[in-house]
Structure 1
Amino acid sequence: MNQKPHHLCGERAATEQLLNEYIDYLMAHSDAEHPAWNLEMIRSGRRNKWNYIDGCMISGILELFDITGETRYLDFADRFLSGFVEEDGSIRTYEVEEYTLDNVNPAKNLFRLYDATGKEKYRKAIERVRSQLETMPRTSEGNFWHKKIYPNQVWLDGIYMALPFYMEYEKRYDAGKDAKDICRQIANVELRMRDPKTGLYYHGYDASRTMYWADPVTGCSPNFWLRAEGWFILGLVDVLEILETLPLPEEKQHIQHMLQDLAETLTRYQDAGGLWYQLIALPEVEGNYLETSGTALISAALLKAVRLGFLPERFRAVGEKAFYGIVDQRLLKNADGSPCVTGICLVGGLGGETHRDGSVRYYLSEPVVQNDAKGVGPLLLAYTEMLR
């Protein structure tokens, strides 16, 4: 922490300056009510709520504080979270009973802010979010539902969204009492959602096998969506980072094996230019495209896993190739000189009001946008790993 940051290689000083200017611009034009990075919220015209997208951005900004020691990053994160967290620990727009794992993700930042500021409101808010997991609905196999509105469903995204927070809480405040529960949930994902032919993981799993998108035998959705793979592999790394401090060697070994297996698999699917396809296993399908957000998540995960010793050094080159693929191909300047990150899938899900069926047609029909936080946030996380 507070180390001298590394610099991008290959005469990319201008790229590094552009990234730094972009981060500064986003911070200067964002607060809890108006996050400049949250394109989906801006498009909706609704008031900003506690959400995982902002959580991802704030995580990256706090990483910059850890790396550089510059208090402006900490001050921004503190101001932003204070726009939600009240003195009694309540969180504006957050309700436990909504029961969505997405809303657990931004709470990861509460630990770091509590450590850095000592503000008790953050400690109280941690307890409030932890209470959600105490009563969160589960499948018959013991996994959290992704959301209350999606009964019996496990999505890859949820591993990243909830389990690192859960594991950090267990390490700090519960003597690791429920750490094995977290590891069992990850093992269930491997058992139910990993495809043995490709080594990839399906986006969703319906334990009841009743949803129209679910295979009636396996319960899995029909395709491998890139961003879900990215959330999942980064979630494995984040959980392992915390698990490292707990006396659970068998569980750690199992999750590390899952991580290495998936890293090997993803390497086989990487395009020559460094990116991965939106439908990762179907590069030849008409309309499929190289997608930015999932690529950035995988880059961040591989680079972090190598740094922490969870993956062999050879995977550093894979992660760097992905990062440089994004900055060389997808980080552009608008006519006015402002930065632009392109090629971001705006949303992706299963079920819901629009009958998202997990088909090839569905995943290729979602809008491809620029400068949305679901791409910018992961790119920021990958960038911070490049600086370490």
Structure 2
Amino acid sequence: MNTTRSILFFLTLLCAGTRLMAQEDVAGRVPFYPIPYEFPNVDSIKTVMDRVRVYYESTSPQKLVDATTGKEITDFSKPNKNATVSPGFSSEWTYTHGVVLSAFSYLSDVTGDKRFFADNTRFYGFVEKSLPYLRQNEAQFGRQPGVWSLLHIGALDDCGSIGAALIKTYLKDKNQDHLAVINIINEYISNKQFRLDDGTLARHRPQYKSVWVDDMYMSVPFLTNMGVLTGEKKFYDDAVKQVLQMADRLYVPQTELFDHGWNVNSGDYDPRFYWGRANGWALMSMAELLGVLPKDHPGRNKILHLYRSMIRSLANLQDGTGFWHNLLDRNDTYTETSCTAIFTYAIAKGINEGWISHVYGPVAITGWNATNSRVLANGAVDGTCEGTTFAHDNTYYYYRGKSVDATHGYGPVLYAGAEMIKLLQNPKFDIVKPKPNSINSTFHFRLKSEFPQEAK
């Protein structure tokens, strides 16, 4: 009897141990994802977008103030040498603010929430109301710090991106005051900015006759939207020329990426640095242009090839967390927010527009999940690389700072959210979602036309 009980006890322990080992074995086989590998929903994205908007708005009251006292200037009949623009992201006349304002306009269309576009009318109204007074001050006292570069445009950074957003704003609100500023910007980009002999927009910085891929975004969206505004083919032609001629110098077919910059001194043997955000600016520029470029334009297919090949390369370079690295081909550089958001937007946009295959959908979803993880509870966007010059050494790019105060991340995050909303609502697809706690489960985007539902 004792022997029988001992045997039964042993078998009970053996079964329990086997069950425990099996449980441990299954648990160990379920992947652990440092960024949630989950399906986002439209409402959660809208909530994040609104949080970013509220934070961004809160950074400045959009007033003219006395720099010495901080008090608001309300009497524009009296010149004031100390007059300046109240500090804060939402008061800046900068290309990064231009990206935000373009994204606000887009989000207003995508979500139907007019609070986004209200920021555009508020900001440009503030600018146009303040300009005569600031010009009067500058005429009397000379250039003063903290005043918009619009008064003395000297580079594409001063006008292209924020000018594109102004055209988009005019096309909606039809405020005639916008046209004078649009014309000033067009005169600079079309007739005053330095160009190479073949018409490629360039600068003498940091080297003589330098071409920056960043300048694709500082020019092409403005030229594209001038085409929309005026209906004149010359603007589309110039935009296409900038993309293709910059690509001739900067796009590297072997990597399917853009080198950050080129200069005449190094020519064909220019050192190559695949900085993340610069490649993002190229994609955003092409997306803007492809969205309105006539289908029969002779440069369209060449631009589509650049777009598609970049997406192919970027899908392979995406980090396992869903992020991309600050130097795209160096996975020991930090994962960076602004380029991740831009690539997420560009992939989702490409799918929605039919420029790239829907099989890239999971890349966009994991890119969004990564981007979303960098939006703080108060709506600030963290992990964005600071402003970066066209450099010639890895050390510089490796150790760029990153901060919530690097405003380059806000517009891309807003754009990514808007396009993800459109992607999740795209009626062309069924999206297979991964099962929680599954050993083997992933996302699949499937065309409904290829997988018709069975008749019931």
Structure 2 unmatched runs, 5+: 1-37, 65-84, 136-146, 423-456
Of the three residues 218, 221, 234, the one matched with 1:161 is: 218
Tell me how far apart the structure 2 counterparts of residues 110 and 45 of structure 1 sit (CA, whole Å).
19
Contact 2:56 2:380 in 1 (8 A): no
TM-score (norm 2): 0.69
- Select the residue among 27, 30, 53 that pairs with 2:57: 27
> How much has 1:157 moved relative to structure 2?
1.1
Task: Determine if the alignment matches structure 1 residue 254 to structure 2 residue 298.
Answer: no
- Counterpart of 2:406 in structure 1: which amino acid? D
State which of 284, 287, 302 in structure 2 corresponds to 1:237: 287
Conserved 8 A contact 1:102-1:158: no
The structure 1 residue matched to 2:100, chosen from 57, 79, 103, is: 57
Contact kept, 8 Å, 2:156 with 2:219, in 1: the verdict is: no
Question: 2:295, 2:192 → 1: CA distance?
Answer: 24
Query: Which one of the candidate residues 331, 338, 352 is aligned to 1:293?
Result: 338
Q: 2:420 maps to which residue?
A: 386
Question: Contact (CA 8 Å) 2:383, 2:403: kept in 1 or not?
Answer: yes
1:188 counterpart letter in structure 2: Q
> Map of 1:33-112 to 2, 5 A cutoff?
49-86=92-129, 93-95=149-151, 97-112=153-168
1:366 and 2:410 aligned: no
1:137 and 1:148 in contact (8 A); partners too: no
1:175 corresponding residue in structure 2: 232
Contact 2:324 2:340 in 1 (8 A): yes
Q: Letter of the aligned partner of 2:102 in structure 1?
A: S
| Alignment partner of 1:266 out of 285, 306, 314 | 314
State whether residues 304 and 355 of structure 2, in contact with CA within 8 Å, keep that contact through their aligned partners in structure 1.
yes
CA distance in 1, matches of 2:44, 2:239: 43
**168, 178, 186: which one aligns with 1:130:** 186
1:267 to partner: Cα distance? 1.0
1:242 counterpart SS class: coil
Per-residue deviation, residues 324-354 of structure 1 (Å, max 9, x unmatched): 12213x2344xxxx3443221112112xxxx
Whichever residue aligns with residue 307 of structure 1, its letter is N
TM-score, normalised to structure 1's length? 0.81
Provide closer, same or farther for how the CA distance between residues 108 and 219 of structure 1 changes in structure 2, counting only shifts above 3 A: farther
Kept in 2: contact 1:99–1:148 (CA 8 A): no
| Among 387, 391, 411, the residue aligned to 1:347 | 387
| Distance in 2 of aligned mates of 1:18 and 1:182 | 33
Q: Does residue 190 in structure 1 map to residue 239 in structure 2?
A: no
Residue identity opposite 1:136 in structure 2 = Q
Deviations 1:103-135 (A, max 9, x none): 211011222221222211112221111101222
Size of the aligned set, in residue pairs, is 350
Alignment RMSD:
3.0
Partners of 2:88 and 2:157 lie apart in 1 by 24
Offset at 1:136? 1.6
Question: Which residue among 134, 137, 141 is the counterpart of 2:198?
Answer: 141
Conserved 8 A contact 1:226-1:278 = yes
Kindly provide the amino acid, as one letter, of the partner of residue 171 in structure 2. Answer: D
Cα deviation digits, residues 294-346 of structure 1 (max 9, x gap): 11111111111221222221223222221112213x2344xxxx344322111
CA contact (8 A) 2:55 2:379 kept: no
**2: distance between equivalents of 1:165 and 1:11?**
33
1:179-224 per-position Cα deviation (integer Å, ceiling 9, x unaligned):
3232222112222112232121100111x21xxxxxx242634311
Secondary structure of the residue that 2:211 maps to in structure 1? Answer: strand
Q: Tell me if the contact between 1:101 and 1:146 (Cα under 8 Å) persists in the aligned partners.
A: no
**Secondary structure of 1:218's aligned partner:** helix
Q: Closer, same or farther in 2 for the Cα pair 1:46/1:315, shift >3 Å?
A: closer
Asked if 2 retains the 8 angstrom alpha-carbon contact of 1:306 and 1:316, the reply is yes
Provide closer, same or farther for how the CA distance between residues 292 and 306 of structure 1 changes in structure 2, counting only shifts above 3 A: same
Aligned-partner Cα distance in 1 for 2:207–2:186 = 20
CA distance in 1, matches of 2:114, 2:43: 24
1:76 and 1:240 mapped to 2: Cα distance?
26
